[in-house]
Amino acid sequence: MGSFSSYGIARSGLQASEWGLNVTGHNIANVNTTGYVRQQAILQTSQYRTISVGSNTMQVGLGVDIQQTRQIRHIFLDNMYRRESTTLGYWKAKSETLQDIEAILAEPFGDGFQSVINQFWDAWHELSKDPQSLTTRALVRQRSESLVSHVNHLGEQLDAIQRNVNMQIKDCVSQVNEIAAQIAKLNTEIIKCEATGDSANDYRDQRNLLVDKLCSLVDAEVTEMPDGQLAITLGGYFIVNRDKTSNLYEARSSNDNRVSVPLFESTDMEVPLKNGMIKGLMDSNDLINDIRDRLNYLINSIATEVNKLHKSGKTLDVPPEDGSDFFVPANPAFPIEMGNLKLNPIFYGDDGLNKIVTSVQGEGGDNSIALQIANLRHAEIMYDGSNVFSIDGYYQDVILKVGNYGTEAINIYENQQKLVQSADANRQAISGVSMDEEMSRMMKYKFSYDASSRVINIIDEMIETVISRMGLVGR
């Protein structure tokens, strides 16, 4: 082994140091790039060469080889982050919906339904004190109009929240399809790069960032194949299989056309989700329907009981006439509920105020009907399947349930945010770029490069001595 072999050793050191500097510079350049995972140059000694020295043999090193540029990832921490992110997406969707519902109910401190219904009962109570007063009758009509307006507006607001939730489901389904298509494309790029022995670290960073986003939307199962490509399933069905994708689409549920659900394009089957933002939105729709049903039951019960009492008496007309329904549906084809309620038009005629019934026989001083209507607020006529409530008590129970649901959702969401932040901090501690570490490596590779170049200079001097000066002595 001659001096010229030493050139190869020093040259390998130069190449390895230069490669390390390139990797370090790439890390530093991407310190603020979202989803970037730091890389590391992996070096190994070159194969030894066996030479003979006299009667002995020995192995002589031939320098260093660049083995690979690898990512510093922790798969377990990635999976933990994605699991927690999926749960965070679920509770984020649910807590936001509940905050919207609480805002439109405006209870207990705002001018919500409780305030309006109290004014309605109070107006009837005032009418019971002076049944013949046209002023008080006008107050009853005005308070009834306010009640009808508030109830219908409440229904419109709940419908608007549900439309918004359905629109979010549609947007999220589109995002899932876009992310799946991008992952399939990156699968192809990664297999092309790595099939030639190259590393596709930057492509893998892009793909992992997309998987993180996907897992916040749905509870996806992600599997990496031996060739480096990903397969992703939802409820056991592939949405990504190497370079192939299966799209989802949004449609109205066959069980309830008010709510949207995601379906597989290939089978028209509903996606069996258990977690994630889309599942949170679907459960939010169920919650909206439950609250709407409870409030509709309340409104219908109030209208039914008031109508029953109002029809049991007679008007102030001469001669007295039988009482009619106080509340009527805006569309008779549907039952009385939020959005389908109005005051009977007969109360708006020239003698409309006389049509408001306060007595059994139409006597001016009889307040029995008005008093019974005013006392309905305390009548235990509401039943939720297990308990009996008064009208006020039932509504307060609904508000209590919404408040409890909202508090629970917000608390879990805030706790989940901390878990996600903790999981992300743990993986960033391993995968993130540390400027201190990179600067230290940069100095290490710089000194290594300088040393290797110095070796070449020394060998040059040795060769020059052999060529220029050997044999000159004694001439």
Q: What is the pLDDT of residues 409-428, one digit of tens each?
A: 999 999 999 999 999 999 99
Q: Is the pLDDT of residue 250 over 90?
A: yes
pLDDT of res. 305: 94
Report residue 315's pLDDT band, with 50, 70 and 90 as the boundaries.
confident
pLDDT at residue 327 in the model: 95
Characterize the bridge pairing of strands 244-245 and 248-252: unpaired
| pTM given for the model | 0.87
Judge whether residue 437 has pLDDT over 80. yes
**How large is the average pLDDT for residues 199-212?**
93
Whether omega for the bond prior to residue 319 falls within 30 degrees of 0, making it cis, is yes
Say whether pLDDT at 86 is over 70.
Answer: yes
Q: Are 86 and 419 in contact (CB under 8 A)?
A: no
Residues 6+ apart with CB under 8 A from 8: 62, 63
Q: Of 51-65, 103-117, 250-264, 447-461, which range is least confident?
A: 51-65
Q: What is the mean pLDDT of residues 244-264?
A: 90
According to the model, what pLDDT value does residue 92 have? Answer: 96
Would you say 166 and 259 are in contact if contact means Cβ atoms under 8 Å apart?
A: yes
pLDDT band at 319 (very low <50, low <70, confident <90, very high): confident
For the cut 60, the answer to whether the pLDDT of residue 1 exceeds it is no
Mean pLDDT value across residues 114-130? 92
pLDDT for the residue 167: 96
- C-beta atoms surrounding 160 within 10 Å: 12
- Reported confidence tier of residue 473, pLDDT bands at 50, 70, 90: low
CA distance 193 to 326: 77
pLDDT at site 3: 57
**Dist. CA 277–CA 90, nearest whole Å:** 4
Report the pLDDT value the prediction gives residue 46, as an integer from 0 to 100. Answer: 83
Provide the pLDDT for residue 170. 95
Higher pLDDT, 368 or 106: 368
Q: What is the pLDDT of residue 450?
A: 92
Distance between CA atoms of residues 291 and 401, nearest Å: 9
Distances (CA, A) of 213 to 110, 172, 218, 256, 457: 38, 11, 9, 29, 53
Find which of 2-6, 112-116, 277-281 is predicted with most confidence, using mean pLDDT. Answer: 277-281
**Span 100-124, average pLDDT:** 87
Residue 61 confidence (pLDDT) above 80: no
Asked which of 16-20, 296-300, 383-387, 469-473 is least confident by mean pLDDT, the reply is 469-473
What is the residue-averaged pLDDT of the chain? 90
Q: Is 91 exposed, middle or buried (0-12, 13-18, 19+ CB in 10 A)?
A: buried
Calculate mean pLDDT across residues 171-182.
Answer: 96
pLDDT at 45: 85
369/313 Cα distance (integer angstroms) = 7
Helix (H, G, I), strand (E, B) or coil at 251: strand
Report the pLDDT value the prediction gives residue 277, as an integer from 0 to 100: 96
The predicted model gives 251-261 an average pLDDT of 87
- Look at residue 343 in the predicted model and tell me its pLDDT: 94
Higher pLDDT: 2 or 217? It is 217
pLDDT of residue 333: 93
In this predicted structure, the answer to whether residue 2 has a pLDDT above a threshold of 80 is no
More confident residue, 183 or 315: 183
**Rounded percentage of the chain residues whose pLDDT exceeds 70:** 97
pLDDT at res. 349 = 81
Cβ neighbours for 349, distance < 8 A, ≥ 6 positions apart: 355
